[in-house]
Amino acid sequence: MRNLPCPTQVDLYLFSIDPNDYDEKEFLSILSAEEQEKANKFHFPSLQKKYVISHGMMRQLIASYIACNPRDIRYHFNAFGKPELVIPSCPLHFNLSHSEQFAALAIASHPVGADIEQIKPLEDYVSLTRHFLSIKERKSFCQLAADDQQLAFYRAWTRKEAYIKAIGMGLSYPVEQVTISFDEQPQLLEDRANPMNVEKLSIVSFEHKDYLGAVAIPKDYTVEIKKISLQS
């Protein structure tokens, strides 16, 4: 029996991937051979464990929607590396992001994109924004007080990451042609490369502890945040 998401709702799961919180062997046993091989390529054990935990949790959560064994799930990856569910064949879409000790997984009945980043002080926000902000965004960013630039930087970064993941594209996408507001309530204002996307997609931001994130979803969809407690 399948328990697919509400047609107009995105379920957003937030969970720890701190290796101290888990026995990662539980997750390693349900990963595919390809995922296990990728995990083994990480040079640092902590990164290997976080990969195993995040991808194992993703399999368990997806399996809970489609009533299958997590080991049986198979993915297809598009040209930009975004995974899609092929076994079982099912209208379920998902997107995973992780940063430091936390991960965010969006699950929906329509393509979505998610990004989460731990907020850390950086030396030069203005210099970094030259690589991914539009001309309009850079102008607005430079007018901000220095104390406000950190939050604006992470808002812009996570929102654009979520957006390009939702449309199934990688970092080769011309993100400097995309304009998204820095406001608390984000707005997708312009995409000169694909103007019609402004009418199709919305951006939702979220905060969790010292992390900031965003989800790109179809217009008129809602997001329900589900925080996974290790005690539950």
- Give the model confidence (pLDDT) of 163-173 as tens digits: 999 999 988 89
* 125 occurs within a structural domain: yes
- Give the model confidence (pLDDT) of 72-100 as tens digits: 999 999 988 889 998 777 889 999 999 99
The predicted model scores a pTM of: 0.94
Domain total in the chain: 1
* 180 occurs within a structural domain: yes
Would the pLDDT of 209 be above 70? yes
Mean of the per-residue pLDDT values of the chain: 92
* 127 occurs within a structural domain: yes
Q: Would you say 229 and 16 are in contact if contact means Cβ atoms under 8 Å apart?
A: no
CATH number at residue 196: 3.90.470.20
* 2 occurs within a structural domain: no
- Please give the distance of CA 214 from its chain centroid, rounded to a whole number: 7
Would the pLDDT of 41 be above 70? yes
* 1 occurs within a structural domain: no
Arithmetic mean of pLDDT, 59-82: 93
Task: Write down the pLDDT at residue 1.
Answer: 43
Confidence of residue 232 (pLDDT cuts 50, 70, 90): very low
* 3 occurs within a structural domain: no
- Rounded to whole angstroms, the Cα distance separating 17 from 170 reads 24
Confidence of residue 130 (pLDDT cuts 50, 70, 90): confident
Name the residue range of residue 76's domain: 9-227
Smallest Cα–Cα separation from 82: which of 113, 49, 48?
113
